[in-house]
């Protein structure tokens, strides 16, 4: 049973692309859009920003059994391919499940809070043998913050990976810098045999980039000279940061990603993956958050 505060103006619940259910927010502070499918935030734009913050592919699919391309997909309970089952869906099942809308309420400083949840069932257990409840809270204000909590409802310790796989709009990836990961170690999906170390230079994009920075809870900043803005991503309880741009060939290889769209986005993902996977004892809960804000000019 969802509770929507009756007096929240600017909040609508309707059917969007692919006839999938969504919540739309048009407040004094920002506009946003969230699909119940995957509890997927597909749009966020503060009132004082000329451009959306979250990137969406024009080729994205909106189907109940497919992930949405862009916005903030929730990767859980594994990241990337499933280690012991290559046939399992990449990035887990959370992004292709319909989440339950729990509540829409007023938050602090004019923000609007939207809460969702999913629980384990026969279908999830066929893929991942764990009893769990996941709760997702989205706060839409001058900043966007997203909080993923996982509760272990079983009798045994569970181990999982998680990522808030955020796609950000940039003017041109080739002129974009990402700061905040100086000195951090990273795993490179394109060179899997070794661990690398980021030097004291910002990350720049000159080819396909697919790195998982580990043991870092650092805030990252996207410096975008083309749109003349900086997007910061502050994390809580996240020890991995994934940095991704598919570049030319990978963009062409993905059916739900436009061939020429790669210069307009970068992914900076708030995660606990690989060596930073979460080990959660029975009865306990783990939360991870990302707070996204924009500074223009
Ligand atoms: O986060 C980076 C990554 O793991 C890349 O390896 C790339 O595959 C990307 O995610 C997109 O994955 P998807 O399953 O959504 O096509």
Q: Does ligand 1 lie within 6 Å of residue 244's CB atom?
A: yes
> pLDDT value at position 96?
98
> pLDDT value at position 1?
42
Q: Does ligand 1 lie within 6 Å of residue 257's CB atom?
A: no
Distance, CA 215 to ligand 1 centroid (Å)?
20
- Shortest-distance Cα residue to atom 8 of ligand 1: 80
Q: Which atom of ligand 1 is nearest to the CA of 69?
A: 15
Q: Which atom of ligand 1 is nearest to the CA of 73?
A: 15
Distance, CA 212 to ligand 1 centroid (Å)?
11
Q: Which atom of ligand 1 is nearest to the CA of 242?
A: 1
Distance, CA 69 to ligand 1 centroid (Å)?
10
Distance, CA 80 to ligand 1 centroid (Å)?
6
**CB proximity list for 282: less than 8 A, separation 6 or greater:** 152, 154, 155, 156, 157
Give the 3-state DSSP-derived string for the chain, with helices as H, strands as E and coil as C. Answer: CCEECCCCCCEEEEECHHHCEEEEEECCCEEEEEECECCEEEEEEECCCCCCCECECCCCCCCCCCCCCECECEEECCCCCCCCCCCCCCCECHHHCECEEEEEEECHHHCEEEEEEEECCHHHHHHCCCCEEEEEEEEECCCEEEEEEEEECCCCCEEECEEECCEEECCCHHHCEEECCCCCEEEECCEEEEEEECCCCCEECCCCEEEEEECCCCCEEEEECCCCEEEEEEEECCCEEEEEECHHHHHHHCCCCCCCCHHHEEEEEEEECHHHCEEECCCCEEEEEEEEEEEEC
Q: Does ligand 1 lie within 6 Å of residue 269's CB atom?
A: yes
**CB proximity list for 209: less than 8 A, separation 6 or greater:** 203, 243, 244, 245, 247
- Shortest-distance Cα residue to atom 13 of ligand 1: 90
Mutate to test the pocket of ligand 1, among 59, 75, 80 (most ligand atoms within 8 A of CB): 80
Residue of 252, 200, 14 lying closest to 23 (CA atoms): 14
- Shortest-distance Cα residue to atom 4 of ligand 1: 80
- How many angstroms separate the CA atoms of 79 and 74, rounded? 10
Q: Does ligand 1 lie within 6 Å of residue 210's CB atom?
A: yes
Residue of 104, 128, 131 lying closest to 7 (CA atoms): 104
Q: Does ligand 1 lie within 6 Å of residue 91's CB atom?
A: yes
- Shortest-distance Cα residue to atom 5 of ligand 1: 210
Averages of pLDDT over each 10 residues, the chain, 297 residues: 63 97 97 98 98 98 97 98 95 98 95 98 97 98 98 98 98 98 97 94 98 98 98 98 98 98 98 98 98 96
Q: Does ligand 1 lie within 6 Å of residue 40's CB atom?
A: no
Mutate to test the pocket of ligand 1, among 42, 72, 244 (most ligand atoms within 8 A of CB): 244
């Amino acid at each position: 049973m969802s509770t929507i505060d009756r007096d929240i103006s600017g909040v609508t619940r309707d059917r969007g692309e692919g006839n999938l259910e969504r919540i739309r927010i048009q407040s004094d502070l920002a506009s946003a859009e969230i699909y119940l499918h995957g509890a997927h935030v597909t749009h966020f734009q503060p009132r004082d920003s000329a451009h959306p913050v979250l990137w969406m592919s024009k080729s994205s699919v909106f189907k109940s059994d497919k992930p949405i391309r862009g916005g903030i997909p929730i990767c859980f309970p594994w990241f990337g391919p499933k280690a012991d089952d290559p046939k399992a869906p990449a990035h887990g099942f959370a992004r292709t499940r319909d989440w339950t809308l729990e509540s829409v309420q007023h938050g602090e400083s004019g923000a609007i809070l939207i809460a969702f949840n999913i629980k384990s069932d026969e279908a999830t257990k066929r893929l991942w043998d764990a009893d769990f409840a996941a709760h997702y809270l989205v706060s839409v204000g001058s900043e966007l913050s997203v909080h993923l909590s996982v509760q272990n409802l079983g009798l045994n310790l569970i181990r999982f990976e998680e990522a808030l796989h955020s796609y950000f709009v940039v003017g041109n990836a080739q002129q974009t810098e990402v700061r905040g990961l100086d000195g951090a170690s990273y795993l490179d999906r394109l060179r899997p045999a070794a661990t690398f170390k980021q030097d004291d230079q910002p990350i720049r994009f000159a080819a396909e980039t697919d790195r998982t920075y580990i043991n870092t809870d650092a805030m990252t900043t996207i410096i975008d000279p083309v749109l003349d803005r900086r997007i910061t991503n502050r994390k809580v309880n996240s020890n991995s940061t994934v940095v991704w741009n598919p570049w030319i060939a990978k963009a062409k290889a993905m059916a739900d990603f436009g061939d020429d769209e790669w210069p307009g986005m970068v992914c900076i993902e708030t995660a606990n993956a690989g060596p930073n996977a979460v080990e959660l004892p029975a009865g306990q809960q783990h939360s991870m958050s990302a707070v996204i804000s924009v500074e223009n000019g």
